[in-house]
Structure 1
Amino acid sequence: MTAPGAPRIRARFLRVGGVPLHVRTEGNGPVCLLSGGLGSSWFDWDLVVPFLTPYRTVVRFDRPGYGLSAAEPATTSPAPTAAGEAERIRAVLDGLGLREPCTVAGHSLAAFHVEAFARLHPGRVAGLVLVDGSVEPAARPLPAPGLRDLAARAVAGTATALAVPYLFGPAARRLTARLATVRREDLAPPLLVRHCYRTGRALRALLRENVRYLDVAAELDELRRTRPLPEGLPVTVLAADDGCRSRRTEAWLAEQRELAALLGADYRTTAPAGHLVMFDRPDAVASAVLDTR
């Protein structure tokens, strides 16, 4: 049962591009959509959502293969693209009957996706938040995209046949999360991690997105030249500062500042925080979303 006064959580599956996607909505007010980075599932935003639901209707979804979403067809699904992910976001919102302009927030790789959404569907966006977003200046696509996608599918298929995801997927997820937080722990529910990351579909989705990473970055660079952001759109770049004054940290923060300058965005840092900012500083992530509108 839902506790009195608690926001009602509505979980459902929407068929988008022929694939059943797991979608969750909760809260009230203007809409914001949260999209996770490479290998992420809906529950990676769990600590952020309670800060938002008193003021926003929060939408989360799992891309194909992640979380509870079904995998795309094994051999016929197109390789990931920025335009394709922007269209997926639009289709999720349309499937929920949410057609008013909304704030979109993307973490890491998904920063590419939500920025592409803002550029390709300018009438649908009220604010843009890039949470420690990926940065690839002057990216160039790699050769043989079809062969790379085919190789990713083949590697995932072989690994699945050998039970690699089943045996090692949850442990690999937990290790990755620990390394991406200053607290060095994975705050995601262990049972959900076990359920979602021991499947071959999650590994296939991760490998396919990874081999297309630079292609998507290059596609977004082209969109930046040809499809401007809506005039006056509030944009925030939220960068994670782990508190170390290492060369690596300083270089990353410099890249984030350059991204903010490129987009004419409000630049913020939050510290101490690792790349999984949603675990270390969920309040800062929520503030960035709420301040866009």
Structure 2
Amino acid sequence: MNPRPAPGRILRVGGVPLHVLSEGAGPVVVLGAGLGMAWFDWDAVAARLVPHRTVVRFDRPGLGLSAPAAAPPDLAAEADRIAAVLDALGHRAPATVVGHSLAGFHAEAFARLHPARCAGLVLVDGSIEEDPRPRLPREVRTAWARGAAGALSAAGLPQLLGPAARRLLARAGTLGRHPRRGWERAGYRTSRVLRACALENASYPYQAADLAALRRLRPLPAVPVTVLAAHDGSESRSALRWLARQRALAAELGGRCTVAAPAGHLVMADAPDAVARAVLDLD
């Protein structure tokens, strides 16, 4: 059973009905979830921030409870969407933007494209591509993603396996055991969410390349930046290499790097206190 009614509300933003949740009072913090994720993935972090901040969460088009958009995901569009959601809620003051994984691209792009609207950045185990060079035209990967999602939907796989696949991916990205989310079944059994996940995955290399170009064209505003890296506590080569890449990202952005350990990639689930501290200590 899913909890009813859904928290938050549906707002039409840029012509797309988006599921938006705003809680608390005080300075505004926007929480952006990673590829294919939803508002409820931030529940534990939001609970820790709401006593101190206005916490805004929204589902990107097609994800969570949001309607799909006509256009495929695009870096500048996602940065503009953050600004448009804040406008729709009446939040005009600069906001701190927190981006997990792929949404780290969006958070940084927001800061570069809307510098007057950004009070600070927290990149939570953010995606990193040092030299992104997409091999196929964007249109080709987009068409392939739509076709694959359509075929899987026609076979009924989202309804049969969607929630189970979501749980398996969540377990792979966490170290601890976490309860099932009440809203997983509502979204992840739909072809709408499958299409959105496929399109986000297909757009990833182009968003990375667009961010690399944006870094050359638009300076980062003079705001505090924290890169919060996940570490499972091991001394494996891959784990240490990932920490080195996260530290290099922090240095490139003129920020500081802190480590959440032990934590998997879904830091907000394994270490919500670390994420909340990174936000509250940003000032």
TM-score greater than 0.5 by the shorter chain: yes
**1:229 matched to which residue of 2?**
220
The answer on 1:58 being equivalent to 2:55 is yes
Residues 224-263 of structure 1 deviation map (CA, whole Å, 9 limit, x = unaligned): 11101112x1000000010111111111111101101110
What residue identity is the alignment partner of 2:114?
Answer: H
Q: So what's the TM-score if we normalise by structure 1? A: 0.92
Task: Structure 1: state its 5+ residue gaps.
Answer: 1-8
What is the TM-score with the length of structure 2 in the denominator?
Answer: 0.96
Q: CA deviation at 1:270?
A: 1.1
- TM superposition shift of 1:266: 1.0
Q: 2:173, 2:121 → 1: CA distance?
A: 23
Aligned partner of 2:112 among 119, 123, 127: 119
Q: Which amino acid aligns with 2:237?
A: R
**Partner secondary structure for residue 95 of structure 1:** helix
Q: CA separation in 2, counterparts of 1:99 and 1:292?
A: 20
Residue number in structure 1 paired with 2:167 = 174
CA distance in 2, matches of 1:188, 1:146: 36
AA in 2 matched with 1:201: R
Residues matched between the structures, number: 278
Residue correspondence of structure 1 range 90-169 to structure 2 within 5 A: 90-169=83-162
Cα displacement (A) at 1:79:
2.3
Q: Give the one of 193, 196, 203 matched to 2:194.
A: 203
Find the counterpart in structure 1 of residue 238 from structure 2: 248
C-alpha distance in 2 between matches for 1:114 and 1:221: 14
Query: How far 1:142 moved relative to its partner?
Result: 3.1
How far off its partner does 1:102 sit?
A: 0.6
Residue matched to 1:267: 257
Q: Distance in 1 between matches of 2:234 and 2:164?
A: 27
User: Residue 8 of structure 2 aligns to a residue in which SS?
Assistant: strand
Structure 1 residue runs of 4+, over 6 Å off? none
Structure 2: give runs of 5+ residues left out of the alignment.
1-5
Describe the superposition over 1:177-209 as per-residue Cα deviations: whole angstroms up to 9, x where unpaired.
Answer: 0111111x34442x3111110011111111111
User: Is the alpha carbon distance of 1:125 and 1:188 closer, same or farther for their aligned partners in structure 2, counting shifts above 3 Å?
Assistant: farther
Residue 143 of structure 1: CA displacement?
Answer: 2.3
**Letter of the structure 2 residue corresponding to residue 221 of structure 1:** A
Query: Contact 1:277/1:285 (CA < 8 Å) preserved in 2?
Result: yes
